[in-house]
Amino acid sequence: MHRRVLYPLEIRPRDRDSFNATFSIEQLGIAALIRTFSSAAVIERSPRHIDGLSERHVALLMSVKSAVRVVHGGHDVELEEGDLVLTDSAMPSRMAFGHEITSLGLVLPYETLRRYLPNPDAVFGRRVTGRHGFGQLVGTMLRAVWTHVEQGLPSEYGPNLVKSLLEVIATTYAMEHRSDTCRSSVAAARRAEIKRFIEAHLQDASLSANAVASGLGLSARYTRMVFTGEGEGIADYIMRRRLEECASQLRSALWQSSSITDTAFAWGFSSMAHFTRAFKERFAVTPTEYRRNRSAQAHPHAHHHAHQHDKTLERLS
């Protein structure tokens, strides 16, 4: 249904035998309001789903019930109930949740959002809290609009409601991520293009700053200069994202039959010694220990300075 109405993705249920999900969509002028219920699963939009993309869309996702881990645009965030995240259909993404979840979302063309938020590429994948401030207002508005839609909202009111929502959403992101939204739109668009290329080729062992530059038809010097504006070099970004994907796979019950070596090689590592050193440097434990420790509470001190998303993975496993 999602593929037919919006765009393709893959759903991997935690338990196929008991999996249950519903997907409801209501058109509000140029935008679509969606409501989703699902059993525990991983929902992924990979490079193969993006090939041949005819129209670029953005989606605002809000968790209504349960926590959701979202990996998108080089960011790895956990949405608590009411939190928000913006995603781009032109970039790979993954959502993971270990319990039943209910979410609300707004899907619209990328160019429509740009009329309200001039630099959306700078904030894709970034979380906005829904517990206070304008983020809380966006959540209240989304819930109210859905309630009125269910009760039979006249279609002529849809465009005005979307306009109001977009104005509040744009203000929310501008205030929450001021430094990101104020950056040069040209540079931000180029960084987003570089990120999309990296995410689409993350499993390619030959991926490097030079390979990215060559693939995009840019000079290596310019590519490095533009990307470093993020505060993280291309090589560091590639390493971080590969390690995050490996960690996610090692902790997932869906991948327990895969060996650690298979996981490492699948995400572009060609040496297990290199992978193990890099993994331990980032997460403070070896890959074997990371997979073995099913609960963060088992060794709280060993994990204290590990990356924040480790806590999310513990919850999902």
- Higher-pLDDT residue of 49 and 298 is 49
Mean pLDDT is lowest, of 98-107, 132-141, 196-205, 248-257, for 248-257
| CA dist., res. 144 & res. 236, Å (int) | 43
DSSP annotation string for the chain: -HHHHT---EEEES-GGG--EEEEEEEETTEEEEEEEE-SEEEEE-HHHHTT--S-EEEEEEEEES-EEEEETTEEEEEPTT-EEEEETTS-EEEEESS-EEEEEEEEEHHHHHTTSS-GGGTTT-EE-SSSHHHHHHHHHHHHHHHHHHT---GGGHHHHHHHHHHHHHHHHHHHTHHHHTS-HHHHHHHHHHHHHHHHTTT-TT--HHHHHHHHT--HHHHHHHHHTTTS-HHHHHHHHHHHHHHHHHH-GGGTTS-HHHHHHHTT---HHHHHHHHHHHHSS-HHHHHH---GGGSTTTTTTS-THHHHHHHH-
User: What is the overall mean pLDDT for the chain?
Assistant: 83
Query: Looking at residues 97-106, what average pLDDT do you find?
Result: 91
pLDDT for 79 equals: 92
- Higher-pLDDT residue of 77 and 174 is 77
pLDDT for 311 equals: 39
Q: How distant, in Å, are the alpha carbons of 94, 115, 305 from that of 90? A: 13, 18, 33
Query: Looking at residues 69-78, what average pLDDT do you find?
Result: 90
Is the pLDDT score of 134 beyond 50?
A: yes
Is the pLDDT score of 132 beyond 50?
A: yes
pLDDT for 273 equals: 94
Domains and CATH numbers, the chain: 2-181 (2.60.120.10), 201-316 (1.10.10.60)
Query: Looking at residues 160-177, what average pLDDT do you find?
Result: 85
Please write the tens of the pLDDT for every residue from 266-285: 999 999 999 999 999 999 99
CB 314, CB 292: distance < 8 Å: no
Closest CA to 145 of 163, 161, 126: 161
| CA dist., res. 314 & res. 317, Å (int) | 5
CB 313, CB 251: distance < 8 Å: yes
Mean pLDDT is lowest, of 78-92, 103-117, 178-192, for 178-192
Mean pLDDT is lowest, of 141-150, 245-254, 299-308, for 299-308
Sheet holding 75-79, edge to edge: 10-13, 41-45, 93-97, 68-72, 75-79
> What pTM value is reported for the model?
0.67
